[in-house]
Chains A and B, each alone.
Chain A
Amino acid sequence: MSSVNLTIDGKPVQAEADATILETARRAGIKIPTLCYLEELNVIGACRLCLVRVEGARALQPACVARVAEGMVVRTNTPDVLQARRLNLELILSNHPRECLTCPRNNNCELQQLAADFGLEEIRFEGEITPYPVDDSSPALVRDPRKCVLCRRCVAVCEQVQGVSAISVQERGFNTIVAPAFLDPLGSVACVNCGQCALVCPTAAIHEKDQTAAVWAALADPQKHVVVQTAPAVRVSIGEMFGLKPGEVVTGKLVAALRHLGFDRVFDTDFSADLTIMEEGSELLSRLKEGGRLPLITSCSPGWIKFIEHFYPALLSNLSTCKSPQQMFGALAKTYYAQKAGIDPADIFVVSIMPCTAKKFEAGRPEMNSSGYQDVDVVLTTRELGKMLKQAGVDFDSLSEEEYDDPLGISTGAGVIFGATGGVMEAALRTAYELVTGETLEPVDFTAVRGMAGVKEAAVNLNGTELKLAVAHGLGNARKVLDAVSSGEKTFHFIEIMCCPGGCIGGGGQPIPTNTEIRAKRIAGIYRADREMPRRKSHENPAVQALYKEFLEQPLGYKSHELLHTHYEPRGQF
């Protein structure tokens, strides 16, 4: 590609001939405001907040779609440019309910930030507010169409990244709305609850369902023994809510913060991730040995589970029957732990801190009550925990580090890497290799399955058997792998699928912003946390070993089947 020379605000810059003015300016350190723009996914020039003046052009140009040219002279901050942008923002705000003080996105809203940056002092137009009511039918997400600026970022992500298209632009003119077909409630359609739409929404028009009140109530109830589990991905992201760098590993501070909130026990989903490896690894080996259905596909990610139930029902028997680590934890907290601690399971209240909105749906699935109670009572996202900590006045960064409680807080590095794409596969290989070969694995790293490539393929030799592996993250990538398997184009033995781009660290419940760069930093944090663990293979987890000895007896045994395994239902594509 040939390159061109132009100037932006008097600064000479070079760019690829097909680059946009926006990309070029950003690379040169010149900030142009945007609202509807989402890199590579949504480039539609709709909001017109990125207008710039191009000398010789009659009208102001939207920088996100306008291309550079040789000799072009661009100005991004002349009075007419600023005035035009301001007018467009005022028009967008003219039918926006300006409830910032009581809004879920207060202080973390792109629209609010733009108004501040533009220095808006008044909004000269008073428009009618969109007539659509709030939709809280989904167990995971709330839609508030009044706050929608019709940027379509959510539509782009749901379609292009997730391959779901649960929502799209409906109706026209003033009645335009982003919604499912027939304006049906989100909870009634084939939405997988991944929350990727909420991550990219610039406003509070789609956000997680806030369940912090239920947790505050449980913490205040003296009758309740409130235990909490933290997913692997939360320890590398919660710091961002308090101004720390993305990917900073803050495990010890997270534990301290939860204890400070008043949880009776602070446990770790990494423990049940190790347990998942014992069960799922055994399942893989048994399917290989006994000619069971292959490829075996992982089942930790509830957005992915709902996706396959809707769109690939023919492959349901390929899924591992293992519950996700969150649900294994819940089942054990109200059985094994209840017995050990001598507490009536009716009094135990299990809270999960998850990077994920789909986990809210998963916890409410009717079959997730193998303890005789709902195994997990409430799921909070990383963002909701951040809010609780702020409400409680926790000065996160100044906390001193603390340790998880025994026994459900003991884990290995294999548990923590569940948080990144490829992690479940790698953790399973670390254990399967040693169980099959009887040799110690050195080094333990399987780097071929790491990284942000959408689909990763690898092979590994297990005592003479060549195991073919695939890893996909983001459901659009999952479709590619599943289509290749269904058509017979490819054969694999074991496939890991995570619903969200980057794996759980990029989940729909994570701090906003979550973008490619931040995902990469969180992944680096996950592998740092892994390296720092004294034990890095699930079968070496002493608390898991004790669990089998005292309670479960053996992987895939009778009790395991009762508590740790599940089944799936086809749901129909609509």
Chain B
Amino acid sequence: MVDSKEWEELLARHRDQPAALIQVLHRAQEMHGYLPREVLKEISAALNVPLSKVYGVVSFYSFFTTSPKGRHQISLCKGTACYVRGTNQLLDQLERELGLKPGETTADGEFSLSVVRCLGACGLGPVMMIDDDVYARVVPERLAQILDNYRLAGRQAKGA
């Protein structure tokens, strides 16, 4: 959880310092895990940078994210090789299965999805990663089962 004292100190240290914006955003994302609306408002007020500018910076750099990360991070490769071998079908299937678009997190906080440029495993396309596990030559039909494993793992961990 966020150490609120550390957070207050960070803001206080950079009060009225618009030039510190990127640095503070980095630190804020480290502390909160992501950059929710309320956090950006606090940064805007403290550093004296209009909120529209703060969001402009956040939405420009793909490093920053405004939605919380799911317990499991799904990354789909959209490099050329994977793309021609069916990344889009996988994306469609994921949307059907989880109601999830790239950059989003499921309502139950289980999964978030991102699309990446090239994972460097072009011979194995289409490639999907979940957390640190790599799945090669994924076909849409296999998705449901793969995802279930993670849901199960989550439940077991909780139950234990």
- Chain A residues packing against B (C-beta within 8 Å): 159, 164-172, 179-182, 189, 573-574
List of A residues within 8 angstroms of B66 by Cβ: 182
Q: Verify if B50 is at the interface (C-beta below 8 Å from A).
A: yes
Given contacts A573-B45, A574-B41, contact A181 B54 (CB under 8 A): yes
Cα–Cα, bound, A166→B50 (Å)? 8
Cα–Cα, bound, A574→B52 (Å)? 10
Beyond A159-B50, A170-B59, 13 extra complex contacts between A and B, CB < 8 Å: A165-B50, A165-B52, A168-B50, A168-B52, A170-B52, A171-B60, A180-B52, A181-B51, A181-B54, A182-B37, A189-B52, A573-B45, A574-B44
List of A residues within 8 angstroms of B60 by Cβ: 170-172
* Contact of B51 (CB < 8 Å), options: A159, A169, A172, A574: A574
29 contacts between A and B (CB under 8 A): A159-B50, A164-B50, A165-B50, A165-B51, A165-B53, A167-B52, A168-B52, A168-B53, A168-B56, A169-B56, A170-B52, A170-B55, A170-B56, A170-B59, A170-B60, A171-B59, A172-B59, A179-B52, A180-B52, A181-B40, A181-B51, A181-B52, A181-B55, A182-B37, A182-B66, A189-B52, A573-B45, A574-B41, A574-B51
Cα–Cα, bound, A182→B41 (Å)? 11
List of B residues within 8 angstroms of A165 by Cβ: 50-53
Contact indicator A168/B55 (Cβ below 8 Å): yes
Q: How far is the CB of A307 from chain B (nearest CB, A)?
A: 13
List of A residues within 8 angstroms of B52 by Cβ: 165-168, 170, 179-181, 189
Interface 0/1 of B17-56, CB less than 8 Å to A: 0000000000000000000010011001100001111111
Q: Which residues of B114-142 have CB atoms within 8 Å of chain A's CB atoms?
A: none
Closest residue of A by beta carbon distance from B54: A181
List of A residues within 8 angstroms of B51 by Cβ: 165, 181, 574
Contact indicator A182/B53 (Cβ below 8 Å): no
List of A residues within 8 angstroms of B44 by Cβ: 574
Q: How far is the CB of A103 from chain B (nearest CB, A)?
A: 26
List of B residues within 8 angstroms of A168 by Cβ: 50, 52-53, 55-56
Lowest 10 A-B CB distances belong to which pairs?
Answer: A165-B50, A181-B55, A168-B52, A181-B51, A168-B56, A181-B52, A171-B59, A172-B60, A170-B59, A168-B53
Cα–Cα, bound, A159→B18 (Å)? 14
Cα–Cα, bound, A167→B37 (Å)? 16
List of B residues within 8 angstroms of A164 by Cβ: 50
List of B residues within 8 angstroms of A189 by Cβ: 52
Q: How far is the CB of A574 from chain B (nearest CB, A)?
A: 6
Cα–Cα, bound, A51→B81 (Å)? 40
List of A residues within 8 angstroms of B37 by Cβ: 182
Closest residue of B by beta carbon distance from A173: B60
Cα–Cα, bound, A170→B57 (Å)? 8
Cα–Cα, bound, A172→B55 (Å)? 12
Closest residue of B by beta carbon distance from A180: B52
Cα–Cα, bound, A179→B40 (Å)? 16
Cα–Cα, bound, A347→B59 (Å)? 51
Closest residue of A by beta carbon distance from B60: A172
List of B residues within 8 angstroms of A166 by Cβ: 52
Closest residue of A by beta carbon distance from B66: A182
List of B residues within 8 angstroms of A171 by Cβ: 59-60
List of A residues within 8 angstroms of B55 by Cβ: 168, 170, 181-182
Closest residue of A by beta carbon distance from B52: A168
List of A residues within 8 angstroms of B59 by Cβ: 170-172
Closest residue of B by beta carbon distance from A163: B50
List of B residues within 8 angstroms of A180 by Cβ: 52
Cα–Cα, bound, A19→B94 (Å)? 57
Closest residue of A by beta carbon distance from B55: A181
Cα–Cα, bound, A169→B53 (Å)? 8
Q: Which of A164, A167, A169 counts the most B-chain CB atoms under 10 A from its CB?
A: A169
List of A residues within 8 angstroms of B50 by Cβ: 159, 164-165, 168
Q: How far is the CB of B121 from chain A (nearest CB, A)?
A: 26
List of A residues within 8 angstroms of B54 by Cβ: 181
Cα–Cα, bound, A281→B45 (Å)? 37
Q: How far is the CB of A312 from chain B (nearest CB, A)?
A: 14
Cα–Cα, bound, A165→B55 (Å)? 12
Closest residue of B by beta carbon distance from A182: B55
Closest residue of B by beta carbon distance from A190: B51
Cα–Cα, bound, A164→B60 (Å)? 21
Cα–Cα, bound, A180→B51 (Å)? 8
Cα–Cα, bound, A277→B59 (Å)? 48
List of A residues within 8 angstroms of B41 by Cβ: 574
Closest residue of B by beta carbon distance from A159: B50
List of B residues within 8 angstroms of A170 by Cβ: 52, 55-56, 59-60
Closest residue of A by beta carbon distance from B53: A168
Q: How far is the CB of A491 from chain B (nearest CB, A)?
A: 25
Q: How far is the CB of B68 from chain A (nearest CB, A)?
A: 15
Q: How far is the CB of A415 from chain B (nearest CB, A)?
A: 37
Q: How far is the CB of A545 from chain B (nearest CB, A)?
A: 48
Cα–Cα, bound, A168→B52 (Å)? 5
List of B residues within 8 angstroms of A182 by Cβ: 37, 55, 66
Cα–Cα, bound, A170→B54 (Å)? 9
Cα–Cα, bound, A165→B57 (Å)? 14
Closest residue of A by beta carbon distance from B61: A172
Q: Which of B53, B54, B66 counts the most A-chain CB atoms under 10 A from its CB?
A: B53
Closest residue of B by beta carbon distance from A573: B45
Closest residue of B by beta carbon distance from A176: B60
Q: Which residues of B57-71 have CB atoms within 8 Å of chain A's CB atoms?
A: 59-60, 66
